[in-house]
Amino acid sequence: MNEKKLSIVVPIYNISNYLEECLSSFLVQGIDNYEVIMVNDGSTDNSGEIAKRYEDKYENYKLLDQKNGGLGYARNSGAAAATGDYLTFVDSDDIIPDNSYEKMLNIIEKSHSDFIIGNVVRFNSRKSYGSVLHKRIFREDMVGTNIHDTPELINDTTAWNKVFNINFWRENDFKFPEGMLYEDIPVSIPAHAMAKKVDILTDITYKWRARDAGDSSITQQRSSVDNFSDRMKAINSVRQFFAKQNISQSLNDIFDYKNFQFDFPLYMYLMNDVDEDYQAIFFSTIQEYFPKISKEVFLKIALKNRIQYQLIVENKIEEFKDSVRQLKLSKYKPHKSEQGYSYNYPYKEVLAPNDRYVSKEEFRVNMDIEEAYWDNDVFKLSWTTFLWGISEKRKKDISVSVALVNSDDTQEIEISNPVSIKFNPMMTLRKSSFSKKHKMPYLKDNYNYSKFELTLPIKDLMPQMHPNKSYYLSVKYNINGVEKNAILNSPKKGLSTKPHYQLMDDYVVTPSYNIKWELEFKKSAAPVVIEAVNKTNNGIEFTGRCVANRKKLFAEDSSRNRIFETDMLSDDNGNFKATITKEQISELDFSKLYIYSDSENPVSLDPKLINRVYGISDKQLSIFNTLEGGLVLSIDQPQFIVEKVEAIKKSFSINIMYLDTANAIVSKDSAELVFTGEKDNFIIKANELKTDGLTKILTFIFDPNTVFKTFDNSFSVTISVNNNEEELYVFRKTLDELRIKDSKRQYIIKYSFNSSTIFLNIKQSWGVLDNSPRKQMILAKLVYPLMRLLPIQKKTAVYESFWGREFSDNPKAILEYVQANRPDIKNVVFVKNVLKDFSDINAKVYRKNSFMYFYTLARGKYFFNNVNFPNHYDKRKNAVEVQTMHGTPLKKLGFDNPGEIKDSAREGFIERNSRWDYLTVPSDYVADIAKSAYLFDKTFLDVGYPRNDSLFIPTTQNEKNDILKKYGLPLDKKIIFYAPTWRSKGKYAMPIDLNELKEQFSDEYVFVIKLHHFSIPSYSLEGLEDFAIDLSNNSDIRDLYKVSDMMITDYSSVMFDYALLRKPMLFYAYDYDNYKDNLRELYFDFEEEAPGAFIRNTDALIGEINDIDRYFDKYKNKIETFDEKFIQYDKGTASEQVVKRIIK
């Protein structure tokens, strides 16, 4: 337990959707002595209320309320209030992974460093991925380094991945600049410059949120001139600090290189899309700064950037802009001359002749390890390497040598074995770029000799390797005149690149991968080695050899608490025996024990013994290993272990092993495999049972294409024995991914590292003609234009919605009418996933980018979409395209929303919209927006939205009851339907106090929630089960429209559809000011024109619900005005009118 106190400062401003997740992450840090200082910087949403709840609930959470002053001001307020020995900062939309602070404090308390930094991962609503900013920093753990010894730390510019010694912080009087962005830089880099000792932890200790489209954070909004101006303030602040503190020229150079190579290009490529004032500030900044950098830095900068900076310096602004445009449109290939490599970039002549060549830093080594395995005492490797655009056509133009180097580059061990260079034409097919200058694509690059093989004589190299030090394979290439050094890295997925350790000459040699996926080797002493394990009448006997004076084996848990010990019985030759008794094992429940022979050294295990399983006293004892080969014993109840999985022709074969101490499995009929999906379950009977003592092995063989008649795409796998369902377990490094394909589907059995079990995925298969991005490109560029020469199929109608993610909305409503009334029409639907359930439509369903997709795109007559068909769609002269839209615009879009359509995308946007022959609208209001937002000047169909036709059909009581039963809703209560819009993709915090609503209304109402499909609930409904029901997934919003008695929404376009039902609507706009001012500009004054109560808090909402019987009397005028303006053409006949007017 850490004795010293940590102060966690959390600035808060309008962040309600993410705040709870952030604040709750501090509760699982493995430390007790900490305070959370929440600084509410004048939030206008309900962030302050959320923070207050945490202050009321946890005594170590403290809330400071202040007027809005910005992030720097809020951080300074929090730091000034800190009472801890250590200080850290967390942005309130980010997350601290479990136990991160415990790890960091344990290190810094021992090292007494000035601060410690931890690794960072980025995440959004869809995925997590490495932080580009931080990946240059983290390679291995370090203690007591600094920026002068480790210059990569110049990239560590964020304040929040650090824990500072508060004395270091206050002695240097660090303060964040206020009233600007990028306030981290003027603190983080000076802190590094002043620190004598800094610790580096490669574990992920900070999750940095990347906001989704429509919700970008302030620092993500680079198209704002203030953003760039503030970055320059931060950079200049560091430059001034360096000058004042007389910081070394080398560190100044590193800082300049970072700015010009990585930071300024983020803005430079926006210059054609921003206004003249922004351009003037950017250009003047470059003109002032660029001439001051050293020649060494100048020549390291990428050639294209060098040219563009020089054009700016010489005030050749139009040439610079043209250069940016050309480099976006074309991919240039390097060419070789006697002086070196260069590119034929436009305006290259602006540089002096000797400055027109590429620095070696510009060529990035692209590397993949394909195999890495032991062959007795040697280690065999094969890998691929290429440099973009540099030919590997001839073997004689390539030379390669390899050395082992230690982590700080102070030792290099020469490897005399030659590297074999292999013919590898598949790399050319996979990686070469296509020429865009010809209609027929051709490969511009040749990487035929890009494969390399090496036999590494590890045993011969061991005498030169220092114990417990990391060694890497440094590969020196000369590829067609380009010399590059790189550490061997990037293993491909699967077990072929993940070898175990090896025992050699009283040492363990461990190959593994560091945080950068670089292959590393480490040797460590093996004073005690287990060479055999046997079950005896007394328990488990270990035999082996001992090269040191050891008397006992100790079993310890993961916290180094000693559980038991046993004697080692040794002979004069160093051989020993040791027994763990039945009694010692029977006293333990679930345990994972690490075996030591002294206080430091784990007992090493012969790799041949890994994953052995024994039955002892009704327990299962499994033999595992640590990464470095240490012996680990797992004691548990008997588990069903996946021993082997094979793909045999078109069938899977799965072997399950079980120590059947209770004789539960008496025949193969006793067991079944259970595959559980979202909707469907499948049972597989065992084909065979083998018995060896207590060990039972069940074999299941099945053809997945015959079994899985389903629309689910993921299945968990368990085993049922005598109707009792049990989990399956997989030993680490025993199962690779296996797949079986047919013409439509791929069936994939995978191992889940997190849960140590298997699952089955079902994915689509591509056809022979379209099963690679290369083939799809050829279809689009060559085959599709030829298909357009074929006659149009005059009876073919094509439908797509939401870019193929789903098939719904107006296009589906039109198709349904065509199905019922025009049987002569062939209907075709484009989607991304053809494995979904389309049984409710009578249509051909084709996958986007497939052969049949391009064929239909070329020959179809009628095209219906609620978004846009892709750029490569070239509408034929006699084809007809109808844009149905997918909602009434509330938020400004297209050309009405400055900055949404970049200048570089303007032409494509106009071209896509100009293909529309017709556009369906529910009102003149929408038609007017279409004219300005889309520049649409063709025919409007004043018919309403086809999807809303169904809302005009009265719902009978029986139909309503069926819907209620379908979703498990009570028949005897009214329904309040809550349908908010999305503020940002990802977590959605409930802004309504549902406990208050339950207390007031649970006798009469239930509260049904349906979030936007971009939103994920971050709230709990615990204690609200009989009142609040979340139907965000697997519900049709049209069903909920029909059964609800009122709807609560905000700025969602559902209001325009729901208005047709003549039911009450309440508008819970708790964050209205922030939404309209910071997230999206609105077309109209929503507060003034909303057709119902405009509400900002729960108390007002309760008042309106209590008075709901007077709703239509209170808001009659607003409702009539709203209906006339927004839904004037919706009459329930939109689909009929569209089809009769368009389809001949």
pLDDT digits (tens, 9 = 90+) for 360-370: 888 889 999 99
* Per-residue pLDDT, 328: 78
In this structure, are residues 521 and 507 in contact, taking their beta carbons and an 8 Å threshold? no
* Per-residue pLDDT, 724: 93
Distance CA 561, CA 666 (A): 41
Domains 773-944 and 949-1126 share a fold: yes
Distance CA 25, CA 40 (A): 18
Q: What is the pLDDT of residues 910-938, one digit of tens each?
A: 999 999 999 999 999 999 999 999 999 99
773-944 topology per CATH: Rossmann fold (3.40.50)
Mean pLDDT value across residues 81-87: 97
Maximum distance among all Cα pairs of the chain, rounded to whole angstroms:
102
Amino acid identity of 772?
S
Mean pLDDT value across residues 431-436: 58
Whether residue 215 is predicted with pLDDT greater than 80 in this model: the reply is no
Angle between helices 249-258 and 225-245 (to 10 degrees): 170
In this structure, are residues 603 and 553 in contact, taking their beta carbons and an 8 Å threshold? yes
Domain ranges of the chain: 6-247, 248-355, 363-522, 542-636, 640-764, 773-944, 949-1126
Mean pLDDT value across residues 1050-1054: 89
Whether residue 306 is predicted with pLDDT greater than 90 in this model: the reply is yes
Mean pLDDT value across residues 470-487: 94
CA atoms within 13 A on the CB side of 882: 28
* Per-residue pLDDT, 803: 93
949-1126 topology per CATH: Rossmann fold (3.40.50)
Backbone angles phi, psi at 559, to 5 degrees: -95, 10
The CATH classification number of 6-247 equals: 3.90.550.10
Distance CA 446, CA 431 (A): 9
* Per-residue pLDDT, 1019: 81
CA atoms within 13 A on the CB side of 732: 13
Whether residue 217 is predicted with pLDDT greater than 50 in this model: the reply is no
Q: What is the pLDDT of residues 1087-1124, one digit of tens each?
A: 999 999 999 999 999 999 999 999 999 999 999 999 99
* Per-residue pLDDT, 445: 78
User: Which of 123-137, 317-331, 684-698, 773-787 is predicted least confidently?
Assistant: 123-137
Backbone angles phi, psi at 382, to 5 degrees: -135, 140
- Helix residue ranges per DSSP H, 884-990: 903-914, 924-933, 957-966
Tell me what the pLDDT averaged over the chain comes to: 91
Strands 482-487 and 471-479: antiparallel
| Percentage of the residues of the chain whose pLDDT score is greater than 90 | 74
| Percentage of the residues of the chain whose pLDDT score is greater than 70 | 97
* Per-residue pLDDT, 301: 95
Judged by phi (left if over 0) then psi (alpha if -120 to 50, else beta), residue 618 lies in left
User: Which of 213-217, 369-373, 624-628, 1136-1140 is predicted least confidently?
Assistant: 213-217
Whether residue 1008 is predicted with pLDDT greater than 80 in this model: the reply is yes
Please give the structure tokens belonging to residue 734: 């025993």
Letter string b/e over residues 863-875, b meaning 16 or more CB atoms within 10 A of that residue's CB: bbbbbbbeeebeb
Tell me how far apart the terminal alpha carbons of the chain are, to the nearest angstrom: 79
Instruction: Name which of 672, 748, 745, 739 is nearest 714 in CA terms.
Output: 748
Helix (H, G, I), strand (E, B) or coil at 264: coil
Whether residue 110 is predicted with pLDDT greater than 80 in this model: the reply is yes
Please give the structure tokens belonging to residue 668: 């193969």
Distance CA 296, CA 1027 (A): 69
Q: How confident is the model at residue 216 (pLDDT cuts 50, 70, 90)?
A: very low
Q: What is the pLDDT of residues 521-570, one digit of tens each?
A: 999 999 999 999 999 999 999 999 998 888 899 999 888 888 999 999 99
Whether residue 100 is predicted with pLDDT greater than 70 in this model: the reply is yes
Instruction: Name which of 931, 815, 907 is nearest 866 in CA terms.
Output: 815
In this structure, are residues 530 and 631 in contact, taking their beta carbons and an 8 Å threshold? yes
Distance CA 631, CA 595 (A): 6
Angle between helices 225-245 and 276-289 (to 10 degrees): 20
Q: What is the pLDDT of residues 757-771, one digit of tens each?
A: 899 999 999 999 998
Please give the structure tokens belonging to residue 912: 């896509």
Q: What is the pLDDT of residues 25-50, one digit of tens each?
A: 999 999 999 999 999 999 988 899 99
Whether residue 435 is predicted with pLDDT greater than 70 in this model: the reply is no
* Per-residue pLDDT, 608: 93
User: Which of 135-144, 381-390, 646-655, 976-985 is predicted least confidently?
Assistant: 976-985
Backbone angles phi, psi at 177, to 5 degrees: -60, 145
Distance CA 658, CA 643 (A): 9
* Per-residue pLDDT, 547: 86
Distance CA 801, CA 804 (A): 6
Q: How confident is the model at residue 220 (pLDDT cuts 50, 70, 90)?
A: very low
Backbone angles phi, psi at 356, to 5 degrees: -100, 20
* Per-residue pLDDT, 434: 54
**With 0-12 CB in 10 A as exposed, 13-18 as middle and 19+ as buried, what is 261?**
middle
CA 385 to chain centre: 27
| DSSP-assigned letters across all residues of 655-672 | EEEEE-TT----SGGGEE
Backbone angles phi, psi at 878, to 5 degrees: -100, 5
Distance CA 520, CA 510 (A): 8
Distance CA 731, CA 1087 (A): 60
Instruction: Name which of 946, 910, 951, 944 is nearest 924 in CA terms.
Output: 944
Q: What is the pLDDT of residues 328-365, one digit of tens each?
A: 777 788 888 888 999 999 999 999 999 999 988 888 89
Mean pLDDT value across residues 935-950: 95
Q: How confident is the model at residue 443 (pLDDT cuts 50, 70, 90)?
A: low
Alpha-carbon torsion (514, 515, 517, 518), positive or negative = negative
* Per-residue pLDDT, 211: 67
Mean pLDDT value across residues 255-275: 92
Distance CA 415, CA 453 (A): 13
In CATH, what class is 363-522? mainly beta
* Per-residue pLDDT, 812: 95
Whether residue 245 is predicted with pLDDT greater than 60 in this model: the reply is yes
In CATH, what class is 640-764? mainly beta
Amino acid identity of 548?
A
Helix (H, G, I), strand (E, B) or coil at 841: coil
